[in-house]
Amino acid sequence: MRSVMRAGLMVCAVMAATSCTAGDRPAAGSDRPGLVRQAHRGGKLTGDTFNPPPAESRAITLMGAQNFGGRGAFGDIWVHEGHAYLGSYRSGGCQGFGVSVASVADPRRPTPVSTFAAYPHTAAEDIEVLRVHNRHFNGSLAVVGLQDCSETEDVAGMRGLELWDTTNPRAPRRLSFIPTSDAHDGGVHELDVFERDGRVYVIIANNFFAVADPLRLGETRIFDITDPRRPAFVSDWSIARDGRLAFGSELFSDTPPGNCAASPGRPSECRLVTSGGYPVVSAHSASVSPDGTRAFLSYWDAGAVVLDIRDPRRPRMIGRANSPQTDEGDMHSAVTVPYFCNQVMITTDEDWSPVFNLEGETEDVWGYARLWDISNPGRPRQIGRIESPHSASPRADGYYSVHNPVTIQNLAFFSWYTDGLRVYDIENPRAPQLLGYFDAPRVPDPAPGEFPNPTGAVWGLSVKPPYVYLSDMNAGLYVVRLAPSIMARFRGSYNAD
């Protein structure tokens, strides 16, 4: 491995692919100079075919789209060996659409081929697919997080982790199920699969509702799925029991430990003022470094926790990064950047306060991305931030918060809800440079429920240069192509699959 020093941080010249977050320049109405203005023009669906409305874009071209019959309620996306796997969200009454699979062999004509992990009252938001070769299993393995999203107290959906054989993506076969919660609205919110020493593991983040007693059972858990027909529990980690921090929220509980009550003499981690409408300390997402030795957990208002998992049976907290108490918290994702020898971390704040604003502030703004120096993981230091054109404004005709990050080499890619896909060069992590963007086409929510999705809401992304595959909560799958001007900015080689 060759390494050099750049911007005071180690840069590794290795082939890498992982997830991260970053930002851009503010929007119309901001007092900051050099704005990239975007119109977010409207449009209509024409006839019986899906023709997305026009979208503002720069250096990114829409190649194809697939809305799977216009059902809506789409979650995250993963692309593996020429097929896109789209999860399902709880909106539209939580009809339990499961995972939708489409062939993307022709990026101009994505074609549905199958559906799996579809259960009543169940959301299948997060999914990862990988090729596994061992004495237990040889083929493509899909790992799906299931959450109960029933709207009736005495009716429950699935709550846990499900493993599927997708070697033939046209005919997926169920291998096993791991229950993770008995709580209403419980289940696996996000997950990350990693391999080490010839074994395959998955780390999961159970959502807030999934953990009735965080002093007994950790909300972050690791399972060994080397034999996907017989997965095994490895360990758990609790921010209350192991991190000794407050847990939960006063929104949902009046008594400790679920009410985010702080220890005597310590402040509560929950951001009860300028909270962004959701003052909570809860496991939201988990990711693992490429070498499988560190885990990065987002705990909403408690920030990002860094775990040493060299021994996956005994996770150990080695650091925590968080925004100042005067900020709103709402940390959604935390990922390392292999390009910098894992000495840089990206986090995203999923702050929706211009729409869900408990305090009624008139000039509140949306969530953005932060970059951290974690060369000393015990004391992370924020070194940069990225905002989209509208996340720095109170504009409320869409959702202008950042969501998911992905990095490949020195480039960072973000799904940014109504601000769509955004691509940055983070060669200098203190001054990220916008390379291109693709706004979310204004497709309305086909089945609006109590909280309808905005017209245009890119949830997730899977990057396979020169293509990026996007999941829109209302519209389904978009396939976009990066311009040569973006492709030329990659430093070193990469593996797109």
Give the per-residue pLDDT at 355: 80
- The mean predicted confidence, pLDDT, of the chain is 87
Tokens of 236: 């758990």
Give the per-residue pLDDT at 389: 79
Judge whether 453 and 403 are in contact, CB under 8 Å. no
Q: Which of 272-281, 336-345, 457-466 has the lowest mean pLDDT?
A: 272-281
Strand-pairing partners, residue 148, are 122
Q: Which pLDDT band holds residue 288 (cuts at 50, 70, 90)? A: very high
Mean pLDDT (whole number) for 130-152:
95
Q: Which of 1-5, 138-142, 305-309 has the lowest mean pLDDT?
A: 1-5
The DSSP letter of residue 484 is H
> How far is CA 268 from each of CA 65, 176, 212, 318, 332, rounded to the nearest angstrom?
45, 39, 19, 21, 19
Cα separation, 430 vs 425, in Å, equals 11
Which secondary-structure segment (H or E) carries 386?
strand 381-386
Judge whether 89 and 399 are in contact, CB under 8 Å. no
> How far is CA 476 from each of CA 84, 112, 176, 471, rounded to the nearest angstrom?
11, 11, 27, 5
Q: Is the pLDDT of residue 25 over 50?
A: no
Q: Which pLDDT band holds residue 8 (cuts at 50, 70, 90)? A: low
Beta carbons within 10 angstroms of residue 357's beta carbon: 17
Residues in CB range of 18: below 8 A, 6 or more apart: 287, 289, 290, 335, 336, 337, 338, 406, 407, 408
Q: Is the pLDDT of residue 373 over 90?
A: yes
Please give the radius of gyration of the chain, using alpha carbons only, rounded to the nearest integer: 21
Residues in CB range of 46: below 8 A, 6 or more apart: none
Judge whether 146 and 158 are in contact, CB under 8 Å. yes
Give the per-residue pLDDT at 42: 44
Q: Is the pLDDT of residue 23 over 50?
A: no
Q: Which of 38-42, 108-112, 289-293 has the lowest mean pLDDT?
A: 38-42
Residues in CB range of 154: below 8 A, 6 or more apart: none
Q: Is the pLDDT of residue 360 over 70?
A: no
pLDDT single digits (tens) 456-477: 999 999 999 999 999 999 999 9
Q: Is the pLDDT of residue 253 over 60?
A: yes
Q: What is the DSSP string of 334-390?
A: EEE-GGGTT-EEEEEE---TTTS-TT--SS-----EEEEE-SSTTS-EEEEEE--TT
Q: Is the pLDDT of residue 276 over 80?
A: no
> How far is CA 271 from each of CA 68, 229, 261, 284, 324, rounded to the nearest angstrom?
39, 42, 12, 16, 10
Give the per-residue pLDDT at 48: 36
Query: Domains in the chain and their CATH numbers?
Result: 16-487 (2.130.10.10)
Give the per-residue pLDDT at 35: 36
- Largest Cα–Cα separation, the chain: 63
Which secondary-structure segment (H or E) carries 199?
strand 199-206
Give the per-residue pLDDT at 211: 57
Beta carbons within 10 angstroms of residue 272's beta carbon: 14
Tokens of 365: 């703004």
Cα separation, 39 vs 189, in Å, equals 33
Q: Is the pLDDT of residue 262 over 90?
A: no
Mean pLDDT (whole number) for 173-194:
91
Cα separation, 35 vs 15, in Å, equals 34
Is the N-terminal amide bond of 257 cis, ω within 30° of 0? yes
Give the per-residue pLDDT at 24: 34
Total number of residues shown for the chain: 497
